[in-house]
Structure 1
Amino acid sequence: MILKNKTTLLIGMMAMLILFSTSCKKDFFDLEDRNGMDSRIWDNEGSIQFLLNDTYDVTMPDFPYEITADNVIYASDEDKFSSSESIMRKAIGVNGVLTSNDVKFIATKYQGNKGDNRYFDIARCNVALKEIPKGTLSQISKNKLRGQFFALRAITYFQLVRLYGGVPLVLETQDPDNLTLTGRAKASACFQAIVSDLDSAMNLLNGVTWVDATERGKFTRQAAAALKARVLLYWASPQFNPTNNPAHPFDQSRWQKAYEANKEAYDICKAAGASLMPNYADIFLKEGTANPEAIIVRSYSAKLSKRGQNVEQRSRPTEEGGNASAFTPTLQLVNAYTMKDGVPVGQASSFTYDPVVFWVNRDPRLDASIAYNGSPWKLSGLATRKQWCYNGGITEASPQGFYLKKFCDPDLAKGSVINANDFGGNGLDWVELRFAEVIINYAECANEIGNLQEAKDLIKQIRIRAGIQPGTKNYGLDLATSKELMRDLIMNERMVEFSFEGKRSFDLRRTRRYHLLSGQMQTIQWTVKTTALKTELEAVGTNGIRFRESINVNDRATFDKYFAATNVNQGPNGFGILDTYYFYALPSTFMNSSPLLDQTIGWDGGTFDPL
């Protein structure tokens, strides 16, 4: 996004305005001349754009693990990293138990930098929404600006509510001379405010388009509609709409409202040109106008200062300049991929499953997303490259059992992998919400109101794009003969389609299936059966290529000759998610900001009902 007319004076006044308007502690009461703000900044679109750019930067979701304090919110059964990271391993119960100070997404500090305090982020929106109408800009400009601030406030509150339940609902700027202090609002009030903001955004951004080269990532009407649809899906789901809580009786009408919102979002997105990318593997590699599937995007760049991310380094093997410190698929995730005809492994399929070469005849998204031992994986521009995952390998001595391909640029040179000194990395955009999610959300709602066939027709779109074949069971969809079975199918589809896209942990909590995870998290350890065979595999031929590059890893006899695989447990314990983890505790970094805040029930003697 480009900022025009950004002068030092405007920056200084805007920074002071942000501090003044977002503060209610004593030190901010002592600001000098706090009533001397020049209101003319709201007459200058450049100054407002500066505030808007800053607000996008602090509010928009990004790749998992970019903010270390937020790692815990992604803890699930899809990533081996969840079993070793100090807080994540407690969140899934494989090593320890969460404390009230472990989930600090709401606030780590009392300041307004990215990730520090979500109420500073909200305050930016509140200031703009109040002051922009007072300026002299054209109504068209005011609408475009306010529409974005409404959407950004909504996404911030939504991220808070799905973690903590009801939170303080601050929708006006706070004047130190006339403070309005409240405690936590009910979840229903929070959802109502979020939906209202998104309705406002949809209205104000109707007909607004952006120039991709300079304005990629700005909210659109279709983005606001898709986010509203997601929000109402959450409100209808068991996390907020439990089926066995007398204090909060199940409300089926929420599913009808969610269905209507998701159908509307689907129609709006299609009318705006949204569609599924033809090739699943390209979803994060194609950007801007080349990616009609991307609906909500956080734009990155490897060449612009402080606009990068480190997902490539965290994904790649060490031999290719990475460290594979996260984004390491588990056996649970690998097992979730169906056969090529959409039939789960272990059920009668048109294709044969082989537990030795288990990637053969599987859902094509497995090969597109995950590298296994001997898997073709183009990196550093080497089209014929294979990934070898056996222990003690000549190029990778201590490999992961699996690697994630999804966020790696196959043409990025090894020396450019790391984002350091504010530059580098792959610069790929984060796609927070894509058209595939609109479709699957729509399908889930259709199923919950009894429209089973409609739900199947929608999921079929996803499976056809994935490259799944019809087989004898209609892409595997004929197996879902009831709402309950279709519900399970959709959950599995989400795990596979959105692997590592920050959805899995939230889906488990939204559907109240988090505590149902059982058994040990596992990955695979590959070994070569004998030293002689290892020498044979790694021998360099007269053509300068190691012999292993020529073997057919899809042939069972060949693979079984050289390699053995062992399932390896991750963490000392099996999954053990507590019921209290559906709504996390407010950390002391936030609780200490007001005596009116009550802790969540189940945490430190808390009395606040998160619903």
Structure 2
Amino acid sequence: MRIRNICIAVGMFSLTSCSKYLDKQPDDMLTMNDVWASRPQSQAYLSSIYSFIPDEAKMQNNYNLMGICDEGDFIWDAAWAGQMNIGNWNVSSGYYDKWKPFYQGIRSASVFINNIDKNDDPTLSADIRDSWKQEARALRAIYYFYLIRQYGPVVILPEQSIDVNATNEELQIPRNSFDECISYVVNELDAVLQSGKLPETFVNDKDKGRIDQRTVMGFKSRALLLAASPLWNGNSEYSGFRNADGKALVNTTYDANKWKLAADAAKALIDRMPLGLYKKVPAGSNAFDPFVSVRDVLLDRWNQEVIYCRPQMASSNAADGWERHCAPRFVNGWNGVGISQQMIDAYFMANGKKINEAGSGYSENGFSTTAGKYTKAGTFNMYADREPRFYASVIYNGADWIYKEDGKPVQTVQLYFTGNCGKQGSHDHSATGYLVCKNISPNSNLIEWTGTLRSLVMMRLAEIYLNYAEALNEYGSDQASRDEAAHYIDLIRERAGLPALDADKKVSRETLRTAIRDERRVELAFENFRAWDTRRWKIAEQTDGAPLMGMNTDAGKSLTDLAFYQRTIKERRVFKKSYYLWPIPQSEIVRNRACMQNPGW
């Protein structure tokens, strides 16, 4: 990676432009000297560094990974996920490859840090310069985290710009070990926190979307949880993962203290957010509503649970918007983001039990004879009496679409073969017989292409509760630790309208581990966590490599046609051991011969 002191493109908008904050579009060319000549131009350069943060809800082969794990499927032939799922990818495929963009972000952050003090604009105070430097420093560490999560051990670049006249041999830089990479990220984030230059959280809406202390602490929690997880903590299968000089890139000895570090990092952030999870009390009520709360935690801008977000979500964008890709055809949606049957089965019943637990009340036979709290009479019993998060996330055959236009009848989604959203009608159809409604606003009128203005939540307190519970359970060996971990799971379940965990879920590390993973799967569903979780837990060969299941979308002529409601293999998938890490692009291996390729590629 060569850092050149030449022309760069920067977006000429201010850090205070909330609506475009993370979507920099270059519209001018400045020399490097120009960038440091005035406050607005330096500010614009800092803004441009944010542009490399991936939009995790952006569809059409961007960074949404729902389709490569057991959460679901993308129907479109051009989707990279379909090729990855059948094992049709290699070092040159480029599928979801972020090696170059994340290093561009790292390089840009280093350039900013090393040069901002050259700006002597009298309106740019030393305090502001110092604050901006810490933002850039945090962003650099965050981009390294993203790289490590996707590629494993990476190359930690010199923080000073590499001389443009450096020889090719001087640019041959080997990979650092995984522990060195994590230490670098954590130390950088700690240095940012210890500087005291960033606010706890930004108060003004115009500043939200910038890196604050809570965001830094959240990424520290993520990094340490990754380091403690089975893929990287005691994984003997990486014993041969070495540089050309023989340096081991992975320490294969299990270290329980890594879980303690992860638990401490999560708890530190939890203690900074005493208001807890977002519980919404509807107008005219004196109690929070679980359904509205779990739905609107992703919709209500800047609510108390949000740690980090993109200030604006491209709700109705036809090209790559999440809402349009998920929504049914009859409201002008692309109708092709299908939830897997595995995910349907993961949601709890209204009584808090899993569908296969004794006393759950679950049935796959027939249709309901009466209406439920969230369902109509005549609903297939598989979907009756489920927890509120199910109804806030899943559109099943016979469900009503969430957008209700004044004066017009509610529209029912028909996913059977001949239905209004079925396979017979268009190539845009759910492959599994389900659609997603999580993170879609009921106020988005997609027929008119007018989505509501809202942020894209990328980190929230429920995740940190789950991080803490997982790490504490893995580190602690006594009942008190398990009870403490379960307490934070129970807080999530309470907000979701479910009872606390039964005692038998807390009797051992293994039973609580299962409960924590089950809760995480549901609470964070479709928020771009599952593909990373199955990898760091080292279970993806079993979960993501299993056949994708759904309903029989090739059958059905009515909502009550039982031919549709048959568990059906929708795709036979492949997950090789090499897939736990993305391949480093072959072009980078050719350019930097000291950088060894990932195992199995």
TM-score band, normalised by shorter chain? 0.7 to 0.9
Measure, in 2, the Cα distance between the counterparts of 1:493 and 1:439. 11
Matched, 1:216 2:216: no
* Structure 2 counterparts to residues 64-143 of structure 1, below 5 A: 64-66=57-59, 68=61, 70=63, 75-81=68-74, 87-92=80-85, 95-103=86-94, 105=96, 117-136=101-120, 137-143=124-130
Q: Is the 1:331–1:521 Cα contact (8 Å) retained in structure 2?
A: yes
Cα distance, 1:267 vs structure 2 = 1.0
2:507 to 466, 473, 481: 481
Matched, 1:281 2:295: yes
Aligned to 2:517: 491
Aligned to 2:541: 515
Q: Residue 352 of structure 2 aligns to which amino acid in structure 1?
A: G
More displaced stretch, 237-246 vs 257-266:
237-246
Q: Is the 1:81–1:325 Cα contact (8 Å) retained in structure 2?
A: yes
Q: Is the 1:222–1:295 Cα contact (8 Å) retained in structure 2?
A: yes
Aligned to 1:52: 46
Measure, in 2, the Cα distance between the counterparts of 1:74 and 1:154. 28
Secondary structure of 2:565's match? strand
Aligned to 1:8: none
Secondary structure of 1:570's match? strand
Measure, in 1, the Cα distance between the counterparts of 2:582 and 2:541. 14
Cα distance, 1:371 vs structure 2 = 0.7
Aligned to 1:250: 254
Secondary structure of 2:552's match? strand
Q: Is the 1:280–1:368 Cα contact (8 Å) retained in structure 2?
A: yes
Aligned to 1:332: 342
More displaced stretch, 69-78 vs 196-205:
69-78
Measure, in 2, the Cα distance between the counterparts of 1:266 and 1:281. 22
Count of paired positions: 522
Cα distance, 1:355 vs structure 2 = 4.5
2:531 to 496, 501, 505: 505
| Cα deviation digits, residues 252-291 of structure 1 (max 9, x gap) | 1111111111111211233xx5633430011221112xx1
Aligned to 1:546: none
Q: Residue 406 of structure 1 aligns to which amino acid in structure 2?
A: K
Q: Is the 1:317–1:323 Cα contact (8 Å) retained in structure 2?
A: yes
Q: Is the 1:163–1:583 Cα contact (8 Å) retained in structure 2?
A: yes
Cα distance, 1:351 vs structure 2 = 4.1
Aligned to 1:174: 162
Aligned to 2:330: 319
Aligned to 2:391: 367
* Unaligned segments of structure 1, at least 5 residues: 6-10, 18-36, 109-115, 418-423, 535-558, 604-611
Matched, 1:580 2:578: yes
Identical columns (%): 25
TM-score (norm 2): 0.79
* Unaligned segments of structure 2, at least 5 residues: 1-12, 18-25, 240-250, 281-292, 367-380
Secondary structure of 1:173's match? coil
Measure, in 2, the Cα distance between the counterparts of 1:320 and 1:13. 39
Q: Rate the CA distance shift 1:570–1:143 in 2: closer, same or farther, 3 A.
A: same
Cα distance, 1:487 vs structure 2 = 1.2
Q: Is the 2:151–2:582 Cα contact (8 Å) retained in structure 1?
A: yes
Secondary structure of 1:297's match? strand
CA RMSD, Structure 1 to Structure 2 (Å): 3.1
* Structure 2 counterparts to residues 379-418 of structure 1, below 5 A: 379=403, 381=405, 384-394=410-420, 397=425, 399-400=429-430, 401-417=433-449
Aligned to 2:309: 297
Measure, in 2, the Cα distance between the counterparts of 1:303 and 1:483. 41
Q: Residue 160 of structure 1 aligns to which amino acid in structure 2?
A: L
Q: Is the 1:300–1:308 Cα contact (8 Å) retained in structure 2?
A: no
Measure, in 2, the Cα distance between the counterparts of 1:56 and 1:338. 38
Q: Is the 2:153–2:177 Cα contact (8 Å) retained in structure 1?
A: yes
Aligned to 2:552: 525
Cα distance, 1:87 vs structure 2 = 3.6
Q: Is the 2:66–2:526 Cα contact (8 Å) retained in structure 1?
A: no
| Cα deviation digits, residues 73-121 of structure 1 (max 9, x gap) | 86101012289665423434xx23431223555558xxxxxxx632221
Aligned to 2:482: 452
Measure, in 1, the Cα distance between the counterparts of 2:202 and 2:355. 45
More displaced stretch, 442-451 vs 196-205:
196-205
Q: Is the 1:380–1:414 Cα contact (8 Å) retained in structure 2?
A: no
Aligned to 2:269: 265
Q: Residue 124 of structure 1 aligns to which amino acid in structure 2?
A: S
Cα distance, 1:139 vs structure 2 = 3.1
1:437 to 463, 475, 487: 463
2:144 to 157, 163, 169: 157
Measure, in 1, the Cα distance between the counterparts of 2:95 and 2:211. 27
Aligned to 1:34: none
Q: Residue 595 of structure 2 aligns to which amino acid in structure 1?
A: L
Q: Is the 1:308–1:427 Cα contact (8 Å) retained in structure 2?
A: no
More displaced stretch, 237-246 vs 314-323:
237-246
More displaced stretch, 47-56 vs 515-524:
515-524
Secondary structure of 1:296's match? strand
Measure, in 1, the Cα distance between the counterparts of 2:410 and 2:502. 33
Measure, in 2, the Cα distance between the counterparts of 1:483 and 1:251. 17
Measure, in 2, the Cα distance between the counterparts of 1:155 and 1:307. 30
More displaced stretch, 475-484 vs 256-265:
475-484
Measure, in 1, the Cα distance between the counterparts of 2:399 and 2:223. 38
Cα distance, 1:329 vs structure 2 = 0.6
Aligned to 2:189: 198
Q: Is the 1:378–1:386 Cα contact (8 Å) retained in structure 2?
A: no
Q: Is the 2:313–2:456 Cα contact (8 Å) retained in structure 1?
A: no
More displaced stretch, 63-72 vs 430-439:
63-72
| Cα deviation digits, residues 505-560 of structure 1 (max 9, x gap) | 00000110111225421111368876xxx5xxxxxxxxxxxxxxxxxxxxxxxx75
More displaced stretch, 360-369 vs 210-219:
210-219
Cα distance, 1:394 vs structure 2 = 4.9
Q: Rate the CA distance shift 1:212–1:307 in 2: closer, same or farther, 3 A.
A: farther
Q: Rate the CA distance shift 1:277–1:45 in 2: closer, same or farther, 3 A.
A: farther
Measure, in 1, the Cα distance between the counterparts of 2:600 and 2:556. 51
Q: Rate the CA distance shift 1:565–1:437 in 2: closer, same or farther, 3 A.
A: same
Q: Rate the CA distance shift 1:303–1:366 in 2: closer, same or farther, 3 A.
A: closer
Q: Residue 313 of structure 1 aligns to which amino acid in structure 2?
A: R
Q: Is the 1:374–1:388 Cα contact (8 Å) retained in structure 2?
A: yes
Matched, 1:349 2:362: no
Cα distance, 1:162 vs structure 2 = 1.0
Secondary structure of 1:432's match? strand
More displaced stretch, 207-216 vs 497-506:
207-216
| Cα deviation digits, residues 126-153 of structure 1 (max 9, x gap) | 0111122444443321232122112211
Q: Rate the CA distance shift 1:340–1:228 in 2: closer, same or farther, 3 A.
A: same
Q: Residue 268 of structure 1 aligns to which amino acid in structure 2?
A: R
Q: Is the 2:413–2:420 Cα contact (8 Å) retained in structure 1?
A: no
Q: Rate the CA distance shift 1:292–1:61 in 2: closer, same or farther, 3 A.
A: farther
Secondary structure of 2:597's match? coil
Aligned to 1:230: 222
Measure, in 2, the Cα distance between the counterparts of 1:582 and 1:344. 28
Q: Rate the CA distance shift 1:371–1:449 in 2: closer, same or farther, 3 A.
A: same
Q: Is the 2:16–2:206 Cα contact (8 Å) retained in structure 1?
A: no
TM-score (norm 1): 0.78
Measure, in 2, the Cα distance between the counterparts of 1:86 and 1:302. 19
Q: Rate the CA distance shift 1:589–1:314 in 2: closer, same or farther, 3 A.
A: farther
Q: Residue 373 of structure 1 aligns to which amino acid in structure 2?
A: N
Whose helix proportion is higher, 1 or 2? 1
